[in-house]
Structure 1
Amino acid sequence: MRLLLVPLAFILLVVGLTYALFLLENLRSGHLARMRRQPGGALRPLLRGVSAALAEQILLVGSYPLGWLPPRERRAGGPVVLLVHGLYHNRAAWILFRRRLARAGYANARFFSYSSFTRDFDGLRRELSERILDLAAEGDAPVALIGHSLGGLLLRAAVCDERLRGRAACLLTLGSPHRGSTLAHLALGGLGRSLRPGTPLMRGLAVLREPADLPRLALVSPVDNMVLPAENLLPPPGWEVREVAPMSHVAMLYHPEPAELAVDFLKRSLPTVR
């Protein structure tokens, strides 16, 4: 029983701290005022976010060790979909999302995994570009790209590599801090702290010249507890933006709605799969 108290205390600390900061940062930015003007007000979405955060933290803690197992990528037919996890996570992040993609006909899912403590953004971006090139050559077709949180930023930078012209089919981000996050002031490690608004990394991302013909969709939650304030979820001009039902940052990996929207986006971007 005592062993269970440690992860439970960690979960309560993370959820409590991040939503306390959510209230503070979004009160300052005006996002909470806008939420209050919506039908039903702000309280219900916030409660849904907190409850989702508690559930997703349990799933995260329980599934995280699966990411330490030797990778078993499913080399199925159909388009290749590359999944890139976020900060402090591993490929176990996609355990439910990947199954939902497979049920919709996108079973050829691959991963890009990395350490959040021993790597820097530019090195990861170069490695990710090579991974996309290899996958495109393997299937002789463009690769669909999906990234959660930091994974979405890595993909944004990677697709600007001139060698990837025509090799990426589409780009979907889930809860990515396109303009940084003030929560990154509390991050552990240089990679996490580089996500603070105004850092050289974030200034560089703001002026990227992404391929104009690449379909790009950003999924955002109105109660994301990791990307603060909420306006920092918004990508640059040229992106399609869809707001999902109120859910926490990591819950976007486990809730069915983001996966359903991802499938719809893949069908629009890869019309050969129905």
Structure 2
Amino acid sequence: MRTLRADNHREETIMVMLKSFLAAAFFFTLYWPGTQPDATLIAQLQAAQEEMHGKNGYQALFLRPSMSKAERAGSELLCSREETDCLAFVRAHQTEYPAIAADMQQWEAALDNLLQYDYFRPRPEQYDFNAEMPSFQILLRARNLHAYRFVSGEVEAAQRGLCRDLVLGRRLVHSRGSLFTSALAARLIERNVILLAQMRAELPPEVPWPALCDELQTLPPQELALCPLMYGEWLSFQQPMEKDWATWQAEVKSIDDQISLSFARQILTQNLYEKAKYCAPEILTAIERDELRLPQRDIWPRYCSLLNTVCRIGGPDNHDYQAVLLNVNHYLRALAILRDPAAPLPQGYRLENGQLHFRRHPERKEEGMQAIALPLPGSHQHGCQLKQTEHTPPISALTLRVYRLAIISLLGTAHPPEAFMTAPSPKILLVHGLFMRATMMMPLATRLRRQGFVCLALTYPTRQQTLHDSVAQHLPRIQDFAANAPLYAVGHSLGGLYLRHLLAAWPEGLAHSRVVTLGTPHLGSKVGAYFRERGWRRSIIGHCWEAGLDGNAPPWDPAIPLLSIAGTKSFGIGSTLRLFAADEPNDGTVAVAETELPEAAAYHRLPTTHTALQFDSDAAQLVNAWFRNVSPPRAALAVTEK
């Protein structure tokens, strides 16, 4: 009897120890380290941004003239950002440019007005990636007007306009506000310096430079580092999560809710830690030497638990942004040399065969330093005639009225030149997948926001109610977000089926849309069917099976272009349970065949897993190209049109 009791006691002790071990392992793999963002790191990032002095003009960036029908109709005649010789482009289309240039004239007062401001920095709440951003389209397109004026003989006005835009670009970089705005301004400086050099090459060297160009001195190297921009990047990531946390905590009812909340905290803490690396002394010292150096990522992310794969994926390395910022001083230094070619040349610059030669940092890390050659003043003179603009302006008030009457007669009533409004930025709705929250779409939203899109990422209950009910619950918010502007959409996995319900509930809202789905099982889900086979499994996927994973979501309208992207790296619950055939391409959770909606306009496959699709940089490039209706940046990303 004693032996039996001893054996039972021993077994109970072993079971208690085993349960304790399993509980500890469960806690370690799911919750560890479970820390909060370090307040010291936040303070360091905030201090690195530095306080600005003077007049802040960020709000003025939202005030823009409306784009007329004539300009929209002639947008294909504008010199694109890829065009390296805008003067040649405008000369090739000179007969079509007068009407377009007449409309561009209305921009000038708004752009001149921006010169009164010393810097342009968002308020803290404006960093939220759901907040609207200014449209910089007018500032970027203004070089078309400058090029047209130059070839038409308004040489002085053309040069002054370029110098003004360069000054605004320099002040935007100096502001150290958002990463997107700084990189955009850096590219503006690059393109406008090139165009100004091409103009000066056709003029006698003794023609005076506009006084505005005197401000175009090189910037302190520390202002070109990514470090002072990381506080804004942190706020854009942290603010929407903080807003949602109170709601999340009230909704926590199950273990998977607790896990999601813990994972979100880990992602936030790791994100802060990664951004603080850009302020490391060795990184800043390299920037001082004009060296492109980026922080190394941790092999084992410090604040991510073993099973938090989203946290472990990390964000972009920002190589391209650091490159374009460092190149700002390369071009400003080149401009100073063009203004005074007889001055001693800085290291790395040389004059040869009527050109100024220097090198710039590549935007793709696999490329080496790139050689740049700008023509010297007077090197390309070929009879460029200067009009006496003080006596016979090429676009007079009478001419403007004639062009406007012609535009109205052909295209209907145009906006009056005094009508000012915020140019609407393209808007994107991002919808997450099963068991996820809006936080999972933040990396993609950040990439798209840097391309000029305004993003809204929604959190909806993926299991507790049907997709139809979720759409009905959030439709007013989606409609307010769209605000009568074209609404694009991206859905990951179940999120793509959510978008099909959204189309059924609000067809006019997506009528002029373009849509991308990432790993969406449009034709039904084998994994979903597996969990529907047994009663105890059904609670795992909840109500998303109905008119969703069962393959019976509302039909798609083929008139709305949809790109379906599928993953082909088989790692996930479906491959673990061996639900796919040995030769069946899949991403571990969804088979490629399940994603190929017949009504889709195009398909593409990426060598990545189901979860990683929403964080994949190639997927982000495809989304950006699809929404802009342009070819992807690399041939390998070409989509398969139907």
Question: One fold, TM greater than 0.5?
Answer: yes
Partner of 1:233: 595
1:133–1:164 Cα contact (<8 Å) kept: no
Distance 2:625 2:542 in 1: 34
- Structure with bigger RCO (C-alpha 8 Å, 6+ apart): 1
CA offset at residue 251 of structure 1? 0.4
Partner of 1:254: 615
Partner of 2:465: 119
2:215 equivalent to 1:192:
no
Q: Please, which of 523, 543, 552 is the counterpart of residue 204 of structure 1?
A: 552
1:144–1:266 Cα contact (<8 Å) kept: yes
Identity of aligned residues (%): 22
Distance 2:450 2:556 in 1: 31
Distance 2:560 2:464 in 1: 31
Partner of 2:239: none
Partner of 1:182: 526
Partner of 1:132: 478
Secondary structure of 2:497's counterpart equals: helix
CA offset at residue 192 of structure 1? 2.5
Distance 1:56 1:152 in 2: 28
1:34-74 per-position Cα deviation (integer Å, ceiling 9, x unaligned): xxxxxxxxxxxxxxxxxxxxx995342679xxxxxxxxxxx
Distance 1:144 1:120 in 2: 23
1:186–1:193 Cα contact (<8 Å) kept: no
The TM-score with structure 1 as length reference comes to 0.63
1:86–1:150 Cα contact (<8 Å) kept: yes
Q: Please, which of 496, 505, 525 is the counterpart of residue 161 of structure 1?
A: 505
Distance 1:217 1:141 in 2: 21
1:259–1:90 CA distance, 2 compared to 1 (3 A) = same
1:193-250 per-position Cα deviation (integer Å, ceiling 9, x unaligned): 6666xx6543532xx44333211111111231111x4311211234311112x11101
Q: Please, which of 421, 435, 442 is the counterpart of residue 95 of structure 1?
A: 442
1:86–1:148 Cα contact (<8 Å) kept: yes
Distance 2:306 2:30 in 1: 13
Partner of 2:494: 150
Q: Output the amino acid matched with 1:82.
A: L
2:471–2:501 Cα contact (<8 Å) kept: yes
Distance 2:501 2:439 in 1: 23
1:82–1:143 Cα contact (<8 Å) kept: yes
Q: Please, which of 310, 314, 325 is the counterpart of residue 60 of structure 1?
A: 310
Q: Output the amino acid matched with 2:603.
A: V
Partner of 1:18: none
The TM-score with structure 2 as length reference comes to 0.29
Q: Count how many residue pairs are aligned between Structure 1 and Structure 2.
A: 204
2:567–2:610 Cα contact (<8 Å) kept: yes
- Superposition RMSD in Å: 3.4
1:109–1:203 CA distance, 2 compared to 1 (3 A) = closer
1:115-164 per-position Cα deviation (integer Å, ceiling 9, x unaligned): 2232222201323444433322x2x3121111100001110121133552
Q: Output the amino acid matched with 1:96.
A: P
Q: Which runs of 5+ in 2 are unaligned?
A: 1-23, 32-304, 314-422, 570-586, 631-642
Distance 2:28 2:509 in 1: 50
